[in-house]
Amino acid sequence: MSAEAGTTQVSRALRIVADAGLGHGELTEVSVTEIGSGELLLRASYSSVNYKDALAATGRGKVVRRLPLIGGIDVVGEVVESADPAYLPGDQVLVTGFGLSEEHDGGYAQWVRVPSAWAVRLPEGLTPWESMALGTGGLTAALAIHRLEANGLRPSQGPVAVTGATGGVASLAIGMLARLGYEPVALTRQLDAEVYLRSIGAASVEQVPTPDAPAKPMESARWAGAVDSVGGQTLAWLIRTMQRGGSIAAFGNAGGHELPTSVLPFILRAVNLLGINTGYFDDALRQRLWARMATDLRPDHLDRMTSTIGFDELPQAFNALLKGTVRGRIVVNLG
């Protein structure tokens, strides 16, 4: 261990520990020598708050596979030690997904040790704070848009629906789509969110139908593409209202994990349903998407959709996220 890390001795952390349920998060101090494993030791600067983080830390979801474990699926920091010649002390790197906060100590700590294969160099043009304002949420939105484009989506084809629009991933998707010249339509049930959503790039704001609205196998075709963070009845409605050949990138289940739909939109309109998972996927594509998030996929108003908190505010942030009262992204200052 480096002299600096050795003199630090302990790291402040949010650790998920066992209890009668699925575990709960508690603020504590952990010996640096006991944190994680891998070739890189990072002096962490920022992390972020994601839905999985909130589920794990509150015990409301079976996310963590071993306890105790430091939470946080995102982290950015400076390399202090490296057993991999590809990285040198002083390099700024970020890690999102993989096994962080599931099987491997995560990013809610001042010192983090990770495998070098998981690291991405901080892209030129992004600050550490901006990289965590994006984080797993940004990578999810970027992968969703990449998959939509790979399936033929272009700005000239018409509006792109974004559900759960005030959430972190959806807010980023709106900003990214607007940056690319698309017409993002923000779909939300928050009646007071229009000013916020338009300020981050939404071309228009609409309410989604209530879950008990009458369902037909197909309805009027509206959307050239869609980014869905909700699932359930909302995703079923999107499927019914897609244009011919339109694609939906889906990654959320806040509205339920069941999908009440029929095969008719798929066989009569050739609708595509694209599943999005950023935990493990092609490393070359991961690198390209981070490069794009520093350029053409960088939202113009990242500051408007992001708030910053400290360690002590994490428990309140988890509860607010699960209650659906958070707009946009939350960055955690680990200093």
**pLDDT tens for residues 65-86?**
889 999 999 999 999 999 999 9
Query: 93 forms bridges with which residues in the sheet?
Result: 77, 121
| 215 pLDDT above the threshold of 90 | no
Domain covering 3-122+302-333: architecture: Alpha-Beta Complex (3.90)
Question: Are 70 and 15 contacting, i.e. CB atoms less than 8 angstroms apart?
Answer: yes
How deeply is 279 buried, as exposed, middle or buried, from its count of CB atoms within 10 A (0-12, 13-18, 19+)?
Answer: middle
What percentage of the chain has pLDDT greater than the value 90?
A: 85
pLDDT tens for 131-152 read 999 999 999 999 999 999 999 9
Helices 168-179 and 128-150 cross at an angle (nearest 10°) of: 70
Query: What integer pLDDT is reported at residue 157 of this predicted model?
Result: 98
Q: Which residue has the higher pLDDT, 18 or 329?
A: 329
Inter-axis angle of helices 314-323 and 51-58, to 10 degrees? Answer: 110
Q: What is the pLDDT of residue 23?
A: 82
Mean pLDDT of 141-166: 98
Residue 7 has pLDDT above 80, yes or no: no
Report the C-alpha gap between 79 and 5 in whole angstroms: 11
Nearest to 291 by CA among 300, 283, 280, 302: 283
Average pLDDT over residues 91-111: 95
Residue-level pLDDT at 3: 46
Q: Assess contact for 242 and 218: CB atoms under 8 A.
A: no
Strands (E), the chain: 10-17, 24-31, 40-48, 69-70, 74-82, 92-96, 111-114, 120-121, 160-162, 184-187, 204-206, 223-228, 242-250, 272-275, 306-310, 329-333
In the chain, where are the structural domains located? 3-122+302-333, 137-275
For residue range 245-279, list pLDDT tens digits in order. Answer: 999 999 999 888 999 999 999 999 999 999 999 98
- Average pLDDT of the chain? 94
Helical residues (DSSP H) of 180-296, grouped into ranges: 194-199, 232-240, 264-268, 283-293
- Is cis: bond before 209, omega within 30 of 0? no
Using pLDDT thresholds of 50, 70 and 90, give the confidence band for residue 228: very high
Q: What is the CA radius of gyration of the chain?
A: 20
Which strands form 184-187's sheet, in the order they lie side by side? 204-206, 184-187, 160-162, 223-228, 242-250, 272-275
| The CATH number, out of the four listed (1.10.230.10, 3.40.50.720, 3.40.50.1220, 3.50.50.60), of the domain defined by the range 137-275 | 3.40.50.720
pTM comes to 0.94
